[in-house]
Each structure stands twice: as structure tokens, then as C-alpha cells.
Structure 1
Amino acid sequence: MKGGLLLGLRAAQLALAFIIMALMAYVADWYNSDTLTMAPPQVNWQLACSVISIVSLIYLEGAKRFAPRAFHSAAALGLESANAVFHFSGFIYLAVFIGKLLFCRGSVCAAARAASVFGAFEFLFWCVSAALAAKEVAAGGFSLPFRRSPKPANEKVVAMEEGARA
């Protein structure tokens, strides 16, 4: 994967995750304080999706850079695909909820709508990221540093095997 493209994509994913988290926290706080009811599950799910994205990004970038033995390309593909599915379901779930409201005006409704739109962009970014990871996995880019050939116990055995091949 191209380092610059992937780094820019990760920065956009992180920025959108924080934006969605802030917007959904505002909406959830409004429900909890002004209406004295719990926030709807649609709001909570979108909030959870942004938290999952932040944790995923910490693993995807942190493990690759600082703990390469803990990073696996196929696991990264699964994690990126799961995030794409989470954000797809989240922004659709929230958009349908907002569309069925009888009354939706004001800053809270605008924040929920904006979070749904940002969720759609987050979904697209995770799809691109998953496609790049799938390309790496398909090209045989499994990063398995823990699979090394075993060391022979005896140097004479190696010398005998090399002599037998010659």
C-alpha cells in the first residue's frame, strides 16, 4: 500500500470518527438532559461506531509501526471490513430514524443529520481502506514475522544435508 495515501486515509477516518462522536454525544446529551429519556439506539449505535473506529485505528497504525509481531494483514482486512459494515449500518439506521420523526428542527436535528452524512463518508473511507488491505492480502502480503524457518539443532546436520544435495 502506498504510505502517503494510507496515512491520509487514516487521518480522514480519525477526523471523521471524532466529528461523529462529538455530534452524537451532543444529540445523546440533549436526549438525556432535555427530554429526560434515554437516547435512541440509533444515536447510541452511531456513537459506538465512532468509538470502535478510533480503537481500530489505534490498532491498525500502532501495531504496524510499534509491534509488528501483533499485526496481521488478514486480521487488518477483517477489522477494516467490519468497520465499513458498522458505519454502513449506522448511517442508514440513523437516517431512517431521522426521516421518520414527525418534528425535526433545531441544532439537535441538524447535528444528527450531519452525523449521518459524515457516517456515509466514513463508510466510504473504510471501504477504500478495506479494498487496499484486500489488495495487499491478495498479493500475498501476509505479514507473519513469527513464522520463521526453524533453526537446526546441529551444524553438522546442515553440512551433511548440503553435501548430500551436491
Structure 2
Amino acid sequence: MASPIVLGLRAAQLVMAFVILGLSAYVANWYNVDTLTSSPSQINWLLFCSLFTIISIAYIELAPRFMPKVAHPMAFVGLELANVLFYFAGFIALSVFISKLLFCRGSVCGSARADVAFGAFEFLVWGVTSFFAVRDNLKGGFNFRRNRGQAPLAGPQMKESQLA
């Protein structure tokens, strides 16, 4: 069972993912509709990151409850660390992109800057939950190793004959 702190951080991650999704979609739409160029890859990357976060949170929170056979502790750690890496790359790339623009004004620029800020916060929150996930898995000895050395639950594979 997850602690109340982790559940609160998950809620914050989900809310920020939807905020980033909206901001990135707004900026991408502006590029695709009002300019002659397509939206920058940095915006598209943060758009992907927000969708990946929504799917990750759904798996991390719902799989242990409803599909325990597909819930693996190392998959949780992998998703946590992937989100940390994705948001780190995303907010850094978008901030560098914005810093190299000749001018940046208006609601689109403000949305892109807010996208960077929310991406940085999302990176920090995923970093905290990743720390908790790695710590809990190291403390538990990685769940898939716990039964090493024990006999299988199916019973003996061979039995001696009673004829002799």
C-alpha cells in the first residue's frame, strides 16, 4: 500500500501532466495553425511526456489493484526513472529553445515558459517518487528475488515407487 505522501505526489503528477498537456497542445496548435512552420520538437516532446505520465500513473496505481500478475516492482522503478529522464530532457530542451528565440511575447510565449516551469516541477516530483520506489525495492530485496531457493509450490516432480 502506498503512503499518503506518495499518493499526494501522484495526484500532483497527474494534475501537472494535464496542465503540461494543455500548455503544450496550445503552443503546438499555434505553430501548426498560425505559422508556416510545424511545432518545435521540444514542444512535441513535452506533449509526449505528459501522455506518457498519464499512462505511467495509470499502470503504477491500477495494475497492483486490478492486474497483480502484470504488476512488477522493477517495471514501476523503470517507469519512474523514465519519467524523470524524459522531463529533465524536455524542460531543459524547451528552455534552451526559448532562450535562443529572437523575441518571445504574447500568450504563446507565456504558455511555453509556463510549460518549462511545470516540466521542471514535474521532474522534481518524479525524482522524489523515484527515490521512494528505489528505496522501497532495495529494502525489500526486489520482490522477484524473494522466493529464490524455495521449492516450487506445485509439489514434488518425481516420486519414489512403492514396488520393491
Q: Across the two proteins, how many residue pairs are aligned to each other?
A: 154
Asked if 2 retains the 8 angstrom alpha-carbon contact of 1:73 and 1:136, the reply is no
Question: What residue is the counterpart of 1:87 in the other structure?
Answer: 87
Shift of 1:30: 0.3
Percent identity, please.
53
1:164 paired residue number? none
**Residues 138 and 64 of structure 1: CA distance in aligned 2, closer, same or farther (over 3 Å):** same
Q: In the TM superposition, what are the counterparts of 1:47-58 in structure 2 within 5 Å? A: 47-58=47-58
Alpha-carbon distance in structure 1 between the residues aligned to 2:68 and 2:31: 43
Instruction: Please give the residue correspondences for 1:10-25 in structure 2 after superposition, counting only pairs within 5 Å.
Output: 10-25=10-25
State the Cα RMSD in Å.
1.9
Task: Output the CA distance in 1 between the equivalents of 2:141 and 2:11.
Answer: 23
In structure 1, what is the equivalent of residue 114 of structure 2?
A: 114
5+ residue gaps, structure 1, are 158-166
1:149 counterpart residue number = 152
State the AA in 1 paired with 2:14. L
Task: Find the counterpart in structure 2 of residue 33 from structure 1.
Answer: 33
Amino acid in the other structure paired with 1:109? C
Whole-angstrom distance in 2 between the partners of 1:5 and 1:104: 38
Residue of structure 2 equivalent to 1:42 = 42
Query: Partner of 1:37: helix, strand, or coil?
Result: coil
Give the partner amino acid of 1:94.
Answer: L
Match of 2:101, SS state, is coil
Per-residue deviation at 1:66? 1.1
Residue deviations 1:79-121 (CA, integer Å, cap 9, x gap):
1001000000000000000011001000000000001000000
Q: CA deviation at 1:128?
A: 0.5
Tell me what 2:66 maps to: 66
Runs of 4+ in 1 over 6 A off after TM superposition: none
- Give the Å deviation of 1:153: 4.6
Q: Which amino acid aligns with 2:107?
A: S
CA distance in 2, matches of 1:108, 1:119: 16
Residue segments in structure 2 that go unaligned for 5+ positions in a row? none
TM-score by length of 1: 0.86
Q: What TM-score, normalized to structure 2?
A: 0.87
* Matches of 2:36 and 2:152, distance apart in 1: 62
- Asked if structure 1 preserves the Cα contact closer than 8 Å seen for 2:137 and 2:143, the reply is no
Contact 1:72/1:142 (8 A) holds in 2: no
The answer (yes or no) to whether the contact 1:31–1:38 under 8 Å persists in 2 is yes
